Chain A
Amino acid sequence: MMASPRRELAARPMRDAFAATATELLVEDPCVAIVLAEISGQLFRDARRHDPLRVVNVGIAEQAMVGVAAGFAMEGFHPIAHSLSPFMAERPFEQLKLDFGYQGLGGTFVGAGGSYDYASEGGTHHAPGDVAAMLAIPRMQVMVPGHGHEVTALIRATYADGAPTYVRTSLATNDEPHEVEPGRLEVLRRGAGATVIAFGPMLSRTLAATQGLDVTVAYATSVEPFDDAGLVAIAGERPHVVAIEPWYEGTAASVVTRALGHVAATYDFVGVPRRFVHEYGSWAEIDADLGLDTAGIRARLTPG
């Protein structure tokens, strides 16, 4: 029996959505090139068959992956590079900073694995600092989709815009996809109390955690550009803003406080504590350990 399109959409993992989208773009747009460093290579067999010259696997060599992608960009291509988040955002950080940021080039960098999706691999495969690192690079855009459908929308919206863009994918997804675009905050619930911003895959659990609370809930899939005006519009004059973050807590502070710099706001940042995780299991188990499941978020929102 065929699953309904909606169910297929809901079940589509972000990494598969990324590979399908990148392959579609490769076919549609002769200026797209895909540069890999072994990771997810099996997902790009169709793309390689379509045009082996525009799909390059550089081997386990992430610095070369980004450098080669920059070479493509210098020749007018829109490169899409990909690895697990620690090997996409952190290991080749200087190549992202200089080869793309400083040189004024555009490209798409898709990290898979969230903060600790592959928790059983150990801390070498964790990257709760990826977005903080990317925000340190001027011109770098940061997208944090919460659903496979949103992966597609955000990559399509940014891949050819001339800027470098980090797209953070994760195993964790929200229950439903939303219509998203770079730089837009979506207001899902209005209340008189705190303004709660859920980033990417934190939305479904934030909605569950705020059931019955008189708060505003907004959804952000774009950290940079951030919807400064959108936050100002919903925050009021003396807002209390709570950011629910899937990465190190406080990472979003730079953009949220920038948006509200003119008002007397108070803040709370709920995210991954700044310590190394030495626990194995699933990402959901680690989230629960760290207070990032629904119960943990509710406890932070209703102290005492």
Chain B
Amino acid sequence: MDTTTDQLTRVRRLMAKATGDEKHEESSTSTLDALWVLYDRVLHVDPSDPDADARDRFVLSKGHGPVALYAILAAKGFFPESWLDGFMEHGGKLGSHPDRTLVPGVEASTGSLGHGLPIAVGVAHALCAKGQAHARVVVLCGDAELNEGSNWEAIALAPHLGLANLNLLVIDNHSSSYEPASWTARLGAFGWTVREVDGHDLDALEEAFVAAHDAPLAVVADVPAGEW
């Protein structure tokens, strides 16, 4: 069994395979560690049966910078690594924003900001309606994406619906033009359980997701400004 370091090195190599340029690898460094923790330690997903009804769901709400997600999905076996060579190319399946109709393991077609979180609320609630409240729904938003008003409709709604199966992962790379208040204050005021962690601390990220909570959970992964 490879060590985590070895596996992440492999994922980084796959990211470079997609972009064809070591520099562009940076475009997903803000999300890489958090996504790895999700797919390696938290989410119950099966690459050989990506649509299994009992799976956990992950929605890349911001859609931007999907290379880390693609590389992890390829590393885990959702699709052949060779797909990464066609990243953003005509005839390829991996666009600059992910398309659920093309890529196994991609739950939602995103890229226009502010769509994934309301969708994830619907998915989480629908799972409850199906008697599958045990399935986890994780949705990743960027800090600047949370400027979009549609997200706050969903943020207000999720605690009202009692969606303890919903996890919001905020990747805070400080890209918003303004930061009105702490995440704990902002999201906590709406009734969310909020855990702010170092976005590159794998163990802290894991603990933030797996520790018990009764309300919708927000894990805020702080990363250095300028990371994309």
Contacts and interface: CB of A to CB of B under 8 A. Distances in A.
Contacts of A64: 118, 121, 150, 153-154, 157
Contacts of A77: 126, 129
Interface in A7-57: 33, 35, 51, 53-54, 56
Contacts of B115: 67, 94-95, 98-99
A61 B153 contact: yes
Contacts of B149: 63
B64 interface: no
Contact of A74 (B108, B154, B156): B108
B119 interface: yes
A68 B107 CA distance: 14
B153 A103 contact: no
A282 B194 CA distance: 50
Interface string A56-70: 101101011011111
Contacts of B160: 59
Contacts of B9: none
A33 B109 contact: no
Interface size class of B (residues with CB under 8 A): 20 to 34
Given A67-B154, A68-B157, A74-B107, A53 B119 contact: no
Nearest to A69: B122
A72 interface: yes
Contact of A72 (B109, B126, B154): B126
Contact of A67 (B107, B118, B127): B118
B126 A75 contact: yes
Interface size class of A (residues with CB under 8 A): 20 to 34
A75 B127 contact: yes
A53 B128 contact: yes
Given A75-B122, A76-B126, 19 more contacts: A33-B129, A53-B128, A56-B161, A58-B157, A63-B114, A63-B118, A63-B149, A64-B154, A67-B115, A67-B150, A71-B120, A71-B122, A71-B126, A72-B122, A72-B126, A74-B107, A74-B119, A75-B123, A76-B130
Interface of B: 100-101, 107-109, 112, 114-115, 117-130, 149-150, 153-154, 156-157, 160-161
22 contacts: A56-B125, A58-B153, A59-B157, A63-B118, A63-B153, A64-B118, A64-B150, A64-B153, A67-B115, A68-B118, A68-B119, A68-B122, A71-B119, A71-B125, A71-B126, A72-B125, A74-B119, A74-B122, A75-B130, A77-B129, A102-B109, A103-B100
